[in-house]
A and B are shown apart, each in its own frame.
Chain A
Amino acid sequence: MDNLQANLDTVFHALADPTRRAVLQQLGRRELAVSELAKPFDMALPSFMKHIKVLETSGLISSQKVGRVRTCKIERRNMAAAEGWLEKQRALWEGRTDRLAEYAEQLALRESNDDNT
């Protein structure tokens, strides 16, 4: 987890590209060979491999070469943890905003009652 925190920038860097997000979505369904993954993209294989490399560096996917075939799979735990960082901040702000809303609504109610008396 600590490694991942340190890696957060590389994770978001990895997520910041439409090709790489599409790759993640494909891998979300099943493991795939790089050649299969590359098919939908109009891109030379070396360029595509750069995207795979970025995703691997981020820890979001891993790959394994068997014979001449390199197969990629998603690293679910790292995906969840990357999301968790921002989700934690979101939970903080959601909670804060809910509490402010409740407090301000009570305050407004009290103010209008004061005005009436």
Chain B
Amino acid sequence: MTTPNDLTVQRVIKAPPKTIWQAWKDPSHFVKWWAPAPVKTVSNKHDMFSGGGFDTTMHLPDGTVMEGGEGCFLEVVENERIVFTDALQGGWRPNETAFFTAIITLEAHPDGTLYTATALHKNDADRKKHEEMGFLDGWGTALDQLSSLVEAL
């Protein structure tokens, strides 16, 4: 089930799930790819288990330091699935604000791994009302249509 506030990114990665898992789980690997160069990622906490905290700091070349705030791993299934959110911090303690939940899945693929990242973003509107309005109808193309619409103008 998707809503207009969701997005999905999918890649076939030429590496086995266990290697990708390592790149996620080991902070020394994780900081190498999480942010784009020349931003330097510092991992303050990376407890990759259910209820574990997740905290990075970004260091920009001009000296700016961006605190990511602490998130929480909700579900961690080795070599298969990672779910995390910024709505909670380590130990499931609620944060002041919530913006997203991310669901990462790894599936074996003939060329390596089918990697899927889905980000669910906050939507304050009442979901039930949306469903009644046909909210789940034809959403796959709605944003595509929107973008072609905007481009056509």
Residue ranges of A at the interface with B (Cβ–Cβ < 8 Å) = 9, 12-13, 15-18, 21, 24-25, 28-29, 74, 76, 79-80, 82-83, 86, 89-90, 93-105, 107-108, 111
* A99→B35 CA distance, assembly (Å): 8
**A90 partner, pick from B4, B7, B123, B130, beta carbons under 8 A:** B7
**B23 partner, pick from A82, A98, A103, beta carbons under 8 A:** A103
What are 13 A-B pairs with beta-carbon distances under 8 A?
A9-B124, A16-B133, A18-B134, A28-B152, A82-B146, A86-B7, A96-B34, A97-B117, A99-B33, A101-B11, A101-B13, A104-B15, A108-B16
A97 with B153: in contact, given A16-B133, A24-B146, A103-B32 (CB under 8 Å)? no
**A83 partner, pick from B5, B134, B143, B153, beta carbons under 8 A:** B143
* A89→B6 CA distance, assembly (Å): 10
User: B5-38 toward A: CB 8 Å interface, digit per residue (1/0)?
Assistant: 1010101011110011011100001001110100
Q: How many A-B residue pairs have CB under 8 A?
A: 117
Q: Is the CB of A100 within 8 A of B150?
A: no
Q: Is the CB of B19 within 8 A of A111?
A: yes
Q: Is the CB of B9 within 8 A of A90?
A: yes
B137 lies within 8 A of chain A by Cβ: yes
Q: Is the CB of A17 within 8 A of B117?
A: no
Q: Is the CB of A89 within 8 A of B153?
A: no
Q: Is the CB of A103 within 8 A of B33?
A: yes
* A107→B34 CA distance, assembly (Å): 15
Interchain nearest-CB distance for B93 vs A (Å)? 25
Q: Is the CB of B119 within 8 A of A13?
A: no
* A17→B121 CA distance, assembly (Å): 19
Residue of A nearest to B139 (CB): A16
**A100 partner, pick from B7, B115, B133, B138, beta carbons under 8 A:** B115
A98 with B11: in contact, given A103-B32, A107-B22 (CB under 8 Å)? yes
Q: Is the CB of A96 within 8 A of B33?
A: yes
